[in-house]
């Protein structure tokens, strides 16, 4: 068993839509689809290393032709220490794993020593480049253990040593592509450390370096294989296997970089990276749709298609249908693991206007999630999705009931400051407004704002939008002074962010309320301020904000 090359960055994802709390990839300590391995193939890789070491292509000579002054060490001892370390790592015994990796490093770094390898050609001395790669790989193992133990300074030190050692490998030798793999792994793990510390810019730089190394490794391998002629069938198969393995590693790096780009708000770039990763997986695994390891990639692509800046719901639908199919095959159609994909499908059908289908799928998700399984977040998401669809079907009473059920469940299984509480309360407020229950709508939206204030700064734009909506609700309830107070709060935040378009909207709304209250002079001031902000924002006269302001101003002057 070999340890992961990096932690599961997908577990750190944050999302905005209710659906995505369920659609995020499932957490797993050693899931092969989301964790990278350090020792590429365990004993199989070491066997390949030994085969390369004895190959005439590498130019190595037999041990009897090599100087043997100094200590003779057995390569199999190094392999045994490394593999024992991998086993301990897999069981979560990190101190024991570190001891094993350290023993392997001691042998690899012993001065004036020759490492003896057993091959089909007899005993040979491990070439210098291979020794450097093996040492660098072991240092990456050490770095990953330190990451798991949150000793980040020690991790970066070990990983930087691994990178420096990899750079010393001969770029024309047959170990170079393995050195590039180690270099990529080291960069990714340093990137992971910075990701955990929320240093996203530095993390991005490291993942880019890893991506460059992966591409160079694949290109080097393909060039090397093209030069070899008269290859046997076994050699052709080995070439193909190595190429496919490198393509899959490149796809994983693209996937992790996409998650980082999404976190940074670069959704389009994240989508491009995911699509490239998918193309690589399809080339390496022609039946990639049947591969359970593709689930996280499909889920991420689907989520990105559904992002509010993309809204390609029809494209997302196919991916989540595939995710659901595979999960049903792996876990069973009534297992809790299928509920996130059901919630995702319900969300998409709602966005596509198929509201009744959304209700049916949400009921299916609710049935699975609540069938003696205790409290869980997936049931909350399903009730919220159902409420959304019922609201769009104008069934406001049942929509309110569904939202209230979601909130009762969330009170038991979520922290009060969880953003899902604010989202569902805001949806509930909208349902109350549509049913003309203004007092309940105001109460629900105020509770939503109180939740947001627990996790957002006082000047967050999201709070400004909620204050503006609350001001509208107060006006509907004939509470004009409270309406002005809420819109003024929103106006202050939008001005703080120099958002002139939204500032124009708030000035326009305040002017309208003042006009209804008979404060004509003050209303005129806000109408003029709205026009000024519209012009500063370079909004055309056809823009709804400008058109509405001009219309209101003309009406006011006429009256």
CA atoms within 13 A on the CB side of 66: 19
How far apart, in whole angstroms, are the C-alpha atoms of residue 396 and residue 394? 5
132-146, 344-358, 412-426, 478-492, range with the lowest pLDDT? 412-426
Q: How far apart are CA 20 and CA 273, in angstroms?
A: 20
Domain ranges of the chain: 1-237+249-259
CATH architecture of 1-237+249-259: Alpha Horseshoe (1.25)
Q: What is the pLDDT of residues 312-329, one digit of tens each?
A: 999 999 999 999 999 998
Model confidence at 382, pLDDT cuts 50, 70, 90, reads very high
Least Cα distance to 348 among 395, 315, 381 occurs for 315
Tell me: the pLDDT tens digits for 247-256? 999 999 999 9
In terms of pTM, does the model score above 0.95? no
List, in sequence order, the alpha helices (H) in 75-175.
Answer: 75-90, 94-108, 128-148, 152-167
Is pLDDT of 39 > 70?
no
| Arithmetic mean of pLDDT, 285-290 | 72
The CA-atom distances, in angstroms, between 503 and each of 21, 144, 319, 495, 530 are 32, 49, 40, 6, 7
Composition of the chain by helix, strand, coil, percent to 5: 75, 5, 25
pLDDT band at residue 290 using 50, 70 and 90 as cut-offs: low
Alpha helices in 287-394 (DSSP H): 295-305, 313-331, 339-351, 355-369, 377-392
Confidence of residue 228 (pLDDT cuts 50, 70, 90): low
Most confidently predicted of 19-33, 185-199, 512-526, 537-551? 185-199
Residues 274 and 259: their CA atoms lie apart, in Å, by 9
pLDDT exceeds 70 at position 227: no
Token pair, residue 147, equals 């990451």
131 falls in which pLDDT band (50, 70, 90)? very high
Tell me the Ramachandran region of residue 538: left when phi exceeds 0, alpha when psi lies from -120 to 50, beta otherwise: left
What integer pLDDT is reported at residue 559 of this predicted model?
Answer: 64
Count other C-beta atoms under 10 Å from residue 425's C-beta: 23
Percent of the chain with pLDDT over 90: 63
Which stretch of 45-54, 227-236, 343-352, 473-482 has the lowest confidence by average pLDDT? 45-54
- Mean pLDDT calculated for residue range 114-129: 88
Confirm if 79 and 2 have CB atoms less than 8 A apart. no
More confident residue, 24 or 548: 548
Q: Which of 76-90, 403-417, 510-524, 542-556 has the highest mean pLDDT?
A: 76-90
In the prediction, which pLDDT does 517 show?
87
More confident residue, 537 or 135: 135
CA triplet 153, 188, 186: central angle to 5 degrees? 65
370-380 as b/e, with b when 16 or more CB fall inside 10 Å?
A: beeeeebbbbb
Among 227, 223, 220, CA closest to 250: 220
Least confident of 47-51, 364-368, 466-470, 483-487: 47-51
pLDDT of residue 52: 36
Give backbone dihedrals phi and psi of 62, rounded to 5 degrees, phi first: -70, 160
């Amino acid at each position: 068993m070999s340890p992961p090359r990096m932690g599961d960055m997908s577990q750190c994802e944050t999302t905005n839509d209710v659906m995505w709390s369920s659609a995020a990839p499932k957490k797993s300590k050693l899931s092969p689809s989301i964790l990278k391995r350090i020792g590429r193939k365990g004993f199989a890789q070491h066997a390949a290393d030994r085969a390369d070491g004895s190959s005439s292509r590498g130019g190595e000579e037999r041990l009897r032709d090599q100087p043997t002054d100094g200590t003779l060490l057995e390569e199999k001892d190094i392999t045994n220490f490394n593999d024992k370390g991998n086993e301990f790592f897999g069981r979560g015994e990190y101190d024991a794993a570190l001891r094993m990796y350290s023993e392997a490093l001691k042998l690899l770094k012993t001065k004036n020593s020759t490492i003896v390898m057993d091959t089909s050609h007899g005993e040979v001395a491990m070439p210098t480049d291979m020794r450097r790669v093996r040492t660098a790989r072991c240092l990456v193992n050490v770095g990953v253990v330190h990451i798991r133990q949150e000793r980040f300074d020690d991790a970066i030190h070990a990983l930087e040593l691994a990178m420096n050692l990899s750079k010393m490998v001969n770029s024309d030798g047959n170990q170079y592509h393995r050195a590039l793999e180690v270099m990529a792994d080291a960069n990714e793990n340093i990137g992971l450390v910075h990701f955990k510390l929320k240093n996203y810019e530095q993390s991005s730089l490291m993942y880019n370096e890893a991506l460059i190394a992966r591409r160079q490794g694949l290109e080097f391998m393909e060039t090397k294989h093209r030069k070899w002629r008269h290859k046997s069938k076994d050699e052709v198969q080995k070439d193909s296997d190595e190429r496919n393995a490198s393509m899959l590693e490149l796809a994983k790096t693209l996937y992790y970089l996409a998650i980082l780009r999404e976190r940074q708000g670069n959704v389009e770039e994240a989508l491009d990276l995911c699509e490239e990763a998918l193309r690589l997986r399809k080339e390496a695994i022609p039946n990639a749709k049947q591969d359970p390891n593709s689930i996280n990639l499909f889920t991420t692509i689907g989520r990105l298609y559904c992002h509010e800046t993309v809204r390609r719901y029809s494209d997302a639908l196919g991916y989540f249908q595939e995710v659901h199919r595979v999960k049903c095959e792996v876990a069973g159609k009534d297992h809790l693991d299928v509920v996130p994909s059901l919630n995702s499908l319900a969300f998409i059908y709602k966005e596509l206007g198929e509201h009744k289908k959304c209700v049916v799928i949400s009921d299916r998700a609710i049935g699975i999630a609540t069938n003696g399984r205790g409290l869980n977040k997936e049931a909350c998401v399903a009730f919220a999705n159902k409420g959304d669809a019922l609201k769009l079907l104008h069934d406001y009473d049942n929509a309110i009931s569904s939202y209230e059920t979601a909130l009762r469940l969330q009170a038991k299984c979520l922290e009060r400051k969880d953003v899902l509480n604010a989202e569902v309360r805001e949806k509930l407020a909208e349902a109350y407004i549509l049913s003309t229950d203004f007092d309940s709508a105001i109460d629900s939206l105020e509770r939503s704002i109180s939740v947001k204030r627990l996790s957002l700064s006082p000047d967050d734009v999201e709070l400004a939008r909620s204050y503006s909506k609350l001001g509208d609700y107060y006006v509907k309830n004939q509470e004009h002074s409270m309406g002005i107070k809420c819109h003024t709060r929103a106006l202050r935040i939008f001005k703080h962010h120099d958002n002139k378009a939204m500032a124009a909207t708030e000035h326009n709304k305040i002017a309208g309320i003042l006009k209804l209250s008979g404060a004509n002079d003050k209303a005129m001031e806000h109408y003029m301020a709205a026009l000024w902000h519209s012009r500063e924002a370079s909004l055309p006269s056809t823009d709804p904000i400008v058109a509405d302001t001009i219309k209101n101003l003309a009406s006011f002057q006429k009256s």
